[in-house]
């Protein structure tokens, strides 16, 4: 149960997986800088300092960070947002 952070081939991206469905359906959702989403959780993640873009699908969200940001600082903030939504 809970949230798991998983490495990806891209060192600037982490995949955060939950045991609950975040997004219904079979479409993925991407939010790039300057964009907003109908999914408030993605907008909240984009507002975190150091987040470059986000990608969501079913039970995970992948966060791409800016190059000068450390995961040790950003990852707890991402988990906090996910937990605030009940994941």
Task: Give SS3 for 45.
Answer: helix
pTM: 0.94
Walk me through the domains of the chain, giving residue ranges and CATH numbers: 3-82 (3.30.1370.70)
> What is the pLDDT of the chain when averaged over all its residues?
96
Q: Kindly report, residue by residue over 61-70, the tens digit of the pLDDT.
A: 999 999 999 9
Tell me which residue has tokens 């964009």: 35
pLDDT digits (tens, 9 = 90+) for 31-56: 999 999 999 999 999 999 999 999 99
DSSP 67-81: TT--HHHHHHHHHHH
Is residue 1 over pLDDT 90? no
């Amino acid at each position: 149960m809970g949230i798991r952070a998983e490495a990806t081939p891209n060192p600037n991206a982490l995949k955060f997986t939950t045991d609950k469905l975040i997004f219904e359906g079979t479409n993925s959702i991407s939010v790039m800088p300057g964009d907003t989403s109908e999914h408030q959780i993605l907008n909240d993640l984009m507002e975190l300092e150091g987040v470059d873009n986000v990608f969501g699908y079913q039970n995970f969200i992948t966060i791409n960070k800016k190059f000068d940001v450390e995961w040790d600082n950003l990852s707890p903030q991402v988990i906090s947002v996910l937990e605030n939504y009940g994941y």
